[in-house]
Homo-oligomer: A and B are copies of this chain.
């Protein structure tokens, strides 16, 4: 008999192509935590924060789906398990916001801002770490705090 899939939670991580070492370290730790919990990582699939979080997720045996702006899957960083070459450019930011159960923004510039805006518009929980200070987001000060917050958000979703 075929079993109905109990699908995994999907966590989007927003963040730019430019990132300092500390931010990348944080992203990597968050990627590891996502994998360890059996969640799926969704991200923009490219360099910087996107690569760091994918690397962390990969290290811990997790699955990363990279929603790429271009038409070429080889634009994905080396740690993306499933590159989705959309061809829709920066409109793919909306998909990252729409398809997740919760999101974490790490650093980032205007692309990240658009992702935060879209995610809040969809009513998603958005944790921000050294990123845009936008009312409605949940500001945290470390990767550990980001993960603890994700844990309690996901726990509350189970209960509801």
Contacts and interface: CB of A to CB of B under 8 A. Distances in A.
Nearest to A3: B58
Interface string A73-88: 1001011111111111
A2 B58 CA distance: 8
A-side binding surface: helix, strand, loop or mixed? mixed
A118 B110 CA distance: 7
A140 interface: no
Contacts of A88: 87-89, 91, 94-95
Contacts of A59: 2
Q: What bracket does the count of chain A residues touching chain B fall in?
A: 35 or more
Contact of A85 (B78, B84, B99, B121): B99
Interface in A109-133: 109-118, 120-122
Contacts of A94: 86-91, 93-94, 114
Interface of A: 2-5, 7-8, 10, 40, 42, 55, 58-59, 63, 65, 67, 71, 73, 76, 78-91, 93-95, 97-99, 109-118, 120-122, 134, 136
